[in-house]
Amino acid sequence: MPVTKNEQDEGDGGALHHVQGAASFSKFMTVLQIIADAPGMLNIAQLTKRAPFPRGTIYRLVSALIAEGLVTQSGENGTFRLGPRLLQFAAKTWEDSDLRTIARDFLVSLRDATDETVHLAVPSNNRMVYIDKLVGSNRVQMKTSIGGQVELHSTSVGKAWLSGLPDERLLDVIKGLDLKRYTAKTFTTPAALLDELKRTREQGFAFDDEENEPDIRCFGSPIFNRSREPIGAVSISMPVYRHDERRHELCGRLVRETAQLISAELSRML
């Protein structure tokens, strides 16, 4: 149910400036983190069960976060997600990120070699966030944007990043995922996803075969830092009608090689 002014109640108002000091800031951050960890999954009743604050305080905090554009609430089911203002803040950081800067020339080369949409993504709260995007010359393009968030289990960038995790951490991450079905091809059980990630490791790239949205196929490969920790992924995306056996082999090889080059450059420079 939507948060209303009456529900804020408890006599202390709903404006952000009415909550002062470090303790209050910590409360805002706690609520933000709970929402970030379960985007689109918690309504106000469920949020009050998870947040360690009185009900009236939670209503007040959420209302203030919504008013500031830091949280949005779905009109359909009343669940919460991080808001556009947070994504704007993040985008300004990504513009200056070392990974984005180092990867840019390699992404340009990959885009030019395939004439397809190329993405660079990093993990964030059990999702992947696009921090760069380059498009080819084709008229049919991906409807994605920098700052957009996508799932780990149903996308090439997500599966690529997962495949780079050590086994113990991989199992922990998968336990925390909501393996939601987006198409008939989405992997929706841990066992099926683990089998897919095994194939991803063996071939060096992930293949999204219309698993996130119909008529779109993507190739993704993990980017590692000097410590061999996966810190992101690069991908190539295309409509099904431009995908065939020859392009499959070409794009798989190119996305794998590009991720390796970016990883090597990261290790050299950072």
Rg for the chain, CA atoms, rounded: 20
Q: Are the C-beta atoms of residues 14 and 5 closer than 8 Å to each other? A: yes
Local confidence band at 9 (pLDDT 50, 70, 90 cut-offs): very low
* Mean model confidence pLDDT for the chain: 87
Q: For residues 84 and 51, which has the higher predicted lDDT (pLDDT)?
A: 51
Q: How far is residue 76's CA from residue 188's CA, in Å, rounded to a whole number?
A: 24
Domain boundaries, the chain: 5-82, 88-269
CA angle (241 as vertex; 182, 199 as ends), nearest 5: 55
Task: Output the pLDDT for position 5.
Answer: 45
Dmax (CA) for the chain in angstroms is 67
pTM reported for the whole predicted model:
0.69
Local confidence band at 21 (pLDDT 50, 70, 90 cut-offs): low
Condensed to tens digits (0 to 9), the pLDDT of residues 123-145 reads 988 999 999 999 998 876 677 88
Q: Are the C-beta atoms of residues 126 and 152 closer than 8 Å to each other? A: yes
Condensed to tens digits (0 to 9), the pLDDT of residues 179-222 reads 999 999 999 999 999 999 999 999 999 999 999 999 999 999 99
Residue 238 has pLDDT above 70, yes or no: yes
Q: CA 226, 135, 196, 128 torsion: positive or negative?
A: positive
Q: For residues 28 and 214, which has the higher predicted lDDT (pLDDT)?
A: 214
The architecture of the domain spanning 5-82 is Orthogonal Bundle (1.10)
List the helix and strand counts (H, then E) for the chain. 10, 8
**Mean pLDDT along residues 47-65:** 88
Q: How far is residue 82's CA from residue 267's CA, in Å, rounded to a whole number?
A: 32
Q: Are the C-beta atoms of residues 152 and 158 closer than 8 Å to each other? A: yes
Identical fold for domains 5-82 and 88-269, yes or no, is no
3-state secondary structure of 238: strand
**Mean pLDDT along residues 231-260:** 97
Amino acid code (one letter) for 138: N
Query: Residue 239: what are its φ and ψ, rounded to 5°?
Result: -70, 155
Residue 99 has pLDDT above 60, yes or no: yes
3-state secondary structure of 236: strand
Residue 90 has pLDDT above 50, yes or no: yes
Local confidence band at 92 (pLDDT 50, 70, 90 cut-offs): low
Query: Residue 232: what are its φ and ψ, rounded to 5°?
Result: 180, -170
Residue 91 has pLDDT above 80, yes or no: no
Task: Output the pLDDT for position 25.
Answer: 83
Q: Which of 191, 183, 194, 179 is nearest to 126 (CA)?
A: 179
DSSP string across 73-131: E-TTT--EEE-HHHHHHHHHHHHT-HHHHHHHHHHHHHHHHH-SEEEEEEEETTEEEEE
Question: Of 43-57, 98-112, 150-164, 190-204, which gets the smallest average pLDDT?
Answer: 43-57
What is the domain class of 88-269 according to CATH? Answer: alpha beta
Q: How far is residue 215's CA from residue 99's CA, in Å, rounded to a whole number?
A: 30
